[in-house]
Structure formats: structure tokens, C-alpha cells
Amino acid sequence: MLREITLGQYYQAESRLHRLDPRVKLAGTLIFIISLFISQKVACYAVATVFLICMIRLSKVPFGYMIKGMKAIAFIMLLTVAFNLFLTSGEKLVSFWVFTITKEGLKLAIFTAVRLAYLILGSTLMTLTTTPNDLTDGMEKGLGFLRLFRLPVHEIAMMMSIALRFIPILMEETDKIIKAQQARGADFESGGIIKRSKALVPILVPLFVSAFRRANDLAMAMEARCYHGGEGRTKMKPLIYKAWDIRAYIILACYLSLVILTAVISPI
């Protein structure tokens, strides 16, 4: 059942987007997010929609697969929409019981929903097309300048990549433990909140034990291979920009200028 959570998990495919340098994708995601906040005009969102659709098509990740991953956060989205819908003051549209829907509220709710959905789609697109290792490599190199401020960039990147690497492992482990306890008659689905949280103990204790065991093994294996931090460490596959990466930067720049231009000249 945990296999169903696809939010942000790497999706194996052969596409132009998969092959891009992770730094480009990081920058692209950042630019996309910024573009969503530039303006609240419909035209800007239209540009963003076209761009997002093109990128999704380019990534060769099935759209249904991305949507399935979004189910997990549907609740948060609904909550945000509800807050915007009911708590914005302005011209009254409909009103029942204690709730009032205003014209401004409706507009804001729609914009927030679209913005949130695009934010999530945009960032999952990055993680869907980039392996965790590439991602942290990209961050390490892209944020390398922070070393000047005595920030341990390599260590942070290493911690992140280990954490990301452990997510699927621990997920699988959790799945196994849940099944093992179910085989012993454990019941996680019925009862009140107290009974249900108590039912988590037989999962959490073995999970923590195994996480510590794995962490210990990993530390041991790293030391056995003489890992000593980032100093003087070279990469087997150093990140080097290729022709397509440059072209991608140009496309991103064009996109951002287009959004800004639209924000300035479009009436709505």
C-alpha cells in the first residue's frame, strides 16, 4: 500500500528532461516557482500552463502517474481553498449558515488552488526526472559558492543524498514490517484514534531498530572505504554543461521574460 505514494519518487524513462544537468532542472524549478508568483493575471497563468504541459509531455512521465502522487496532498489543497473561499471579505456572492462566499474569495480560492497544484506539479516534475544522487550532486555544485561563507555544502549534500536514498529502503522495510505484523493478526484499520496509535507501536519499534542498524552499517561501510568528508574528493562523473543544458537555460530565460512581459502588458 505504501507503493502508492509516488509524490516525488524518481520515474525511470528516457527523455530530454531526464538527461538534463540537475543544476538546470533546479534552476528551472526555481524559475517556474518564481513565475507563478510574479502576477495574478490570467494570461500569466496561461503561459505557465502551456509551459508546464510542454515540460510534462517532454518528460515522458505519464500524467496519470503524477496525478496519483498528488492525491496524498489533496487534503491540504482542499483546506487552503476552503480558507480562501470562506474567509475573504468583499462583494457577497452566496451565503448560507455561517459561511459567506465572496467574489474576491472565489477568485482567490481558484488562484490559490491553481498555484498550489502548479507548484507541486513543477517540483515533482524535477524529482520525477532526476535521481536523488543527481539532485544532490547538482545542489552541491550549484550551491558550492556558499562554501565561502563556511557552510559545509558537501556534508549537507551527503546527508541529503543519504536521507533520500533511505526513503525507499525504509518504505519497503515499513511495508514488510506491516505485513509481518498483519500475519500475526495485527489490525491497523479499526478502532478509535488511541487504539490506532497504539497499533503503530509494533511497526515503529522494529522500524527504528532497523533504521539504526542500517545507519550503523552504512557508517561502517563508508569508513571502510576511507570516506573522510568532502575535502579533496573528486567525482567519477563530474557535472559538465552540454549543449542542451545551455539551450535549456536560454529557454528558461525566454519563459521568464515572457511571463514578465505578459504581466506588464496583459489587461487581465
Partner 1 sequence: MSIILDHVNYIYSKGTSDEVKALDDVSFEIPDGDFLGLIGHTGSGKSTLVQHLDGLLKASSGSIYFNGEDIYDRDYDMKALRGKVGLVFQYPEHQLFEEDVFKDVCFGPKNLGLSQKDTELAAYRALKDVKLPDELFYVSPFELSGGQKRRVALAGVLAMKPEVLVLDEPTAGLDPEGRNEILGLIKELHDKQGITIVLVSHSMDDVAEYADHIVVMDKGKVFMNGTPKEIFSHASKLETIGLSAPGVTYIMRRLKRAGFDVDTTAITVKEAADSIIRAVNHA
How many residues bind partner 1 (CB under 8 A)? The answer is 25
Site string for partner 1, 186-225 (x = CB under 8 A): xx-------------xx--xx--xx---------------
Dmax over CA atoms of the chain, in Å, equals: 69
Q: Is 122 helix (H, G, I), strand (E, B) or coil?
A: helix
* Residue tagged 497504539 (cell numbers): 198
Is residue 182 at the binding interface for partner 1, with CB under 8 A as the rule? Answer: yes
Is residue 1 at the binding interface for partner 1, with CB under 8 A as the rule? Answer: no
Beta carbons of 109 and 91 less than 8 angstroms apart: no
Q: Which stretch binds partner 1 (CB under 8 A): 118-126, 181-189, 225-233, 242-250?
A: 181-189
Site string for partner 1, 97-136 (x = CB under 8 A): ----------------------------------------
Q: Which residues, 137 to 176, sit near partner 1 by CB under 8 A? A: 173, 176
- Give which of 56, 31, 55, 58 is closest to 258, Cα–Cα: 31
Of 98, 183, 193, 243, the residue at the interface with partner 1 (CB under 8 A) is 183
Of 180, 218, 222, 264, the residue at the interface with partner 1 (CB under 8 A) is 180
Query: Residues 159, 211, 207, CA angle at the centre, nearest 5°?
Result: 140
Cα distance between residue 2 and residue 222, in whole Å = 29
Helix and strand element counts for the chain (H, E): 11, 2
Q: Which stretch binds partner 1 (CB under 8 A): 10-18, 96-104, 109-117, 159-167?
A: 10-18
Reported as type and span, the H/E element at residue 135 is: helix 132-142
Of 75, 89, 148, 185, the residue at the interface with partner 1 (CB under 8 A) is 185
